[in-house]
């Protein structure tokens, strides 16, 4: 095994797989109300194709697989896919990023199949604001989903929150209080220019510095050392044990430590969320490529990985695919 190393010496151990581009919410910072042009069905990787890629990636050095989307729990065979990944030799750690709506129905089966950890996205605790932000009245289902994940033993449950200026940014302290009361690990994510509607603006984005300043009006926050390749900078809240994370993808990019590689639901490999190019795995798989040939595509894709995402460079262009089709 040679390891998945790019031209800058970064070793890639984390494969993020989008299981579907469909979703049961329409978060304003992610998708327009009418959705996006969905990927044609015949382009979606089957579970068998997906497993072949996972096995090859694990043999090449991947140790973590995160399932995402779109909404990954909408994929009917999600439990079987997790069980299959969990049963390969030297199985990677399996986690999922979800809006949580399907967890009351699925959490026990997911945990039994081998799902170790879950990140649930929630930006507001207010029902009316949730409906406005996601264009669906499903806050109750998300809260039940969080309880279901905890009851199934997938702890610590992490919560991802995106703050938007003048919409939910004033809720940061309340979200942190609620997370601590419920033993949840909260992480705030800076909004990124990845939405299908191209609504992102630098001025509209609530920065990590602003979030920290707001939280510090109510709490002592002490940075925790040893972040490694993790995207979140973590802080101990009021001396602990609770923590809060900030993912400052835009204002303090962590590209230098990136260990992530992404696979879209239609079998395209991306070395970065913001890549303008993709490496096709679907057609080679469907036309009988050998494991060595597929592995070579993984290595070639990484050889072209840039040093950083370039959001702060003058010529930055938002990638053609939205976040929901890349897999967040």
Which positions lie near ligand SAM, rule CB under 6 A?
23, 29-30, 68-69, 71, 97-99, 121, 160, 162, 189, 191-192, 194-195, 323-324, 328
CB of 59 to ligand SAM, least distance (A): 27
CB of 215 to ligand SAM, least distance (A): 18
CB of 159 to ligand SAM, least distance (A): 9
Contacts for 121 with CB less than 8 Å, ≥ 6 apart: 27, 97, 98, 99, 100, 159, 160, 161, 162
Nearer to ligand SAM, 56 or 159 (CB): 159
Q: Quick check: 168 and 133 in contact, CB under 8 A? A: yes
Angle at CA 99, nearest 5°, toward 95 and 103?
A: 70
Structure tokens at 226: 């040893």
194 to 8, 89, 273: CA distances (angstroms)? 25, 35, 9
- Closest Cα to residue 124, out of 87, 172, 80? 172
Structure tokens at 19: 């299981």
- Contact set with ligand SF4 (CB under 6 A): 23, 25-27, 30-31, 69-71, 99, 121, 324
Cα–Cα distance for residue pair 130/46, rounded to 1 Å:
33
Nearer to ligand SF4, 275 or 324 (CB): 324
Nearer to ligand SF4, 39 or 84 (CB): 39
From first CA to last CA, the distance across the chain in angstroms is 28
| Residue 189 interacts with, from ligand SF4, ligand SAM, none (CB under 5-8 Å by kind) | ligand SAM
Nearer to ligand SF4, 179 or 326 (CB): 326
Structure tokens at 57: 């990636």
Cα–Cα distance for residue pair 16/35, rounded to 1 Å:
22
| Residue 26 interacts with, from ligand SAM, ligand SF4, none (CB under 5-8 Å by kind) | ligand SF4
Beta-ladder partners of 186: 159, 244
Angle at CA 21, nearest 5°, toward 19 and 26?
A: 130
| Residue 264 interacts with, from ligand SAM, ligand SF4, none (CB under 5-8 Å by kind) | none
Nearer to ligand SF4, 71 or 141 (CB): 71
Nearer to ligand SAM, 111 or 323 (CB): 323
Q: Quick check: 79 and 110 in contact, CB under 8 A? A: yes
> DSSP code of 42?
G
| Residue 31 interacts with, from ligand SAM, ligand SF4, none (CB under 5-8 Å by kind) | ligand SF4
CB of 221 to ligand SAM, least distance (A): 21
| Residue 68 interacts with, from ligand SF4, ligand SAM, none (CB under 5-8 Å by kind) | ligand SAM
CB of 191 to ligand SAM, least distance (A): 4
| Residue 6 interacts with, from ligand SAM, ligand SF4, none (CB under 5-8 Å by kind) | none
């Amino acid at each position: 095994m040679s390891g998945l190393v790019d031209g800058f010496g970064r070793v890639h151990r984390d494969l993020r797989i989008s299981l579907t581009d469909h979703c049961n919410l329409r978060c304003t910072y992610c998708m327009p109300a009418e959705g996006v042009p969905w990927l044609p069905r015949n382009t979606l990787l089957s579970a068998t194709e997906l497993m072949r890629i996972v096995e090859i990636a694990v043999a090449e050095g991947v140790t973590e697989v995160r399932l995402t989307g779109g909404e990954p729990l909408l994929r009917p065979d999600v439990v079987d896919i997790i069980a299959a990944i969990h049963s390969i030799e030297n199985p990677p750690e399996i986690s999922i990023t979800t809006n949580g709506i399907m967890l009351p129905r699925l959490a026990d089966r997911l945990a039994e199949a081998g799902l170790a950890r879950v990140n649930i996205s929630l930006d507001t605790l207010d029902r009316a604001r949730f409906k406005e932000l996601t264009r669906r009245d499903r806050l109750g289902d998300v809260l039940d989903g969080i309880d279901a994940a905890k009851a199934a033993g997938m702890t610590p449950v992490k919560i991802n929150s995106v703050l938007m200026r003048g919409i939910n940014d004033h809720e940061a302290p309340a979200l942190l209080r609620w997370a601590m009361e419920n033993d949840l690990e909260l992480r705030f994510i800076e909004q990124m220019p990845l939405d299908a509607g191209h609504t992102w603006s630098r001025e509209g984005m609530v920065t990590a510095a602003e979030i920290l300043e707001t939280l510090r009006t109510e709490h002592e926050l002490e940075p925790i050392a040893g972040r490694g390749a993790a995207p979140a900078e973590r802080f101990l809240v009021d001396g602990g044990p609770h923590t809060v994370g900030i993912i400052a993808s835009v204002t303090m990019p962590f590209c230098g430590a990136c260990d992530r590689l992404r696979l879209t639901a239609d079998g395209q490999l991306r070395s970065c969320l913001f890549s303008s190019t993709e490496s096709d795995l679907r057609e080679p798989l469907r036309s009988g490529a050998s494991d060595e040939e597929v592995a070579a595509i993984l290595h070639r894709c990484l050889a072209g990985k840039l040093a950083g995402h370039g959001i702060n460079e003058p010529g930055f262009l938002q990638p053609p695919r939205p976040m929901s089709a890349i897999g967040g």
